[in-house]
Structure 1
Amino acid sequence: MAGQGPIPVIVNGAGGKMGREVVKAVAAADDMILLGAIDRNPACLNQDAGTVAGIEPLEIPITDDREGMLAMAAQEKQPGVMVDFTHPDSVYDNIRAAIAYGIRPVVGTTGLSDAQIQDLAEFADKASMGCLLIPNFCIGVVLMQQAAIAASQYFDHVEIIELHHNQKADAPSGTAVKTAQMLAELGKTYNRPEVEETEKLSGARGATGAEQIRIHSVRLPGLIAHQEVIFGAPGQLYTLRHDTSDRACYMPGVLLAIRKVLPLKTLVYGLEKIL
């Protein structure tokens, strides 16, 4: 039963920027134990996860054997958790594999389609297995989204600009998509057209998300993760912005999600659902 010992945690994507931060955070948490580390990058294989993360050696070698690691975790007395920061191309299979082995996924990788999320939700329900899909683990982002919902009562026009490092594989970001979805759930249609627009360059007006909310993506070296939600009305603009300067800001949310996923019996989407 959960709560009688440290939570066994596997970090999938342990050699990546976010994965290294998760390794450090889990290793420092009193109620968790780093059970294993997975990464497909050949440069990381067989290296100590702690050394790769920039801390003392943890005697946990990084492996690319996902199935073997999940099978080992399934033998633990305590329910296990797999934290996934990998790639949009592999995250769906990673989640299904974890659930099949009885390991609860906590997922920061974005890029899943709506159909994939629905399929995973049904799979988790059948297995009575908790699964958390978190587009953004930062508490400040949740506050920005809540402020955007409040502002939407008074503004009919809104656009989203998200800015990330140029190694991010998917666009728009999961955070931007989630923000647009949250605004759309209020049952309001935004940005009613004033003129017939013509894009001289395809995509110049960004992507059209839920309820006609435009999302614009910027990818540049030097950025980490940033988002603006810009509301407009005659004579005024209201801008909400969140900036990330260090990936450590995500770790309180990651650790919270690891603890919160254990009693769940279904898939939950969004950090705000577990706060």
Structure 2
Amino acid sequence: MSLFKSLTAAALIQAALLLPAAAGDNLNAIQSAGTIKIGTEGTYAPFTFHDASGKLVGFDVEIGEAVAKKLGVKPQFIEGKWDGLIAGLDAKRYDVVINQVGITEARKQKYDFSDPYIASKAVLIVRDGNDEIKSFADLKGKKAAQSLSSNFGKIAQTAGAELVGTDGFDQSIQLVLTRRADATVNDSLSFLDFKKQKPDAPVKVVAEQADADFSGIIIRKGEPELVAAINKALADIKADGTYKKIADTYFGQDVSK
């Protein structure tokens, strides 16, 4: 065998030996280190935020902690701004991102996702005592408090509502409460969080869209063992009641579907 062929063969063997690590046997690395690095914002209540003492808390934080426990490792949360959060996976700053990342076809082209762990739906919210609006169709000719650039605003507009522009959920709900708007089409999770914080607020959900948007734990492509382990961990925390306990803490009900 020529020297060139020998070197080529050696190079191929070396590449083959390195391939499993390069392809992503990251689960073993995580378990060996005893830590899973989790990217998150830390500024997005009630999912990932800092409480009065400065501690990082939230629904997504507790989900990350529970998943890490099932994997037999400790969670290490690494905070970053949303704009660069997912890109941090590419830079290998962390192993996964847990930050209400919606599962979309576009994202699935570049990344893998766990099974969904939370669902949100568009819901129609009115003030208690309002019996005129019982469905999305009843919005025709009514005033809906909406963020004008949101999908929720488009739903209200399509139903024939007159839009009253707002900066988001908090302002929208206030306009409904003060009767400056008849209704708002908004996120079910935001409403559940609001009612958890203010259970006596005189607002109610009268309709919801059937289709839900799901979020999952986002992972680099080529980590099938890690995806499988995380999916098992999610299934386990649902089976043993951990998920329900976390969901009840932040939303007062199961939010997985």
Pairwise same-fold verdict (TM > 0.5): no
Which has more radius of gyration? 2
Q: Does 1 or 2 have the higher relative contact order (CA < 8 Å, sep 6+)?
A: 2
**TM (normalized to structure 1)?**
0.32
Bigger helix share: 2
**TM (normalized to structure 2)?**
0.33
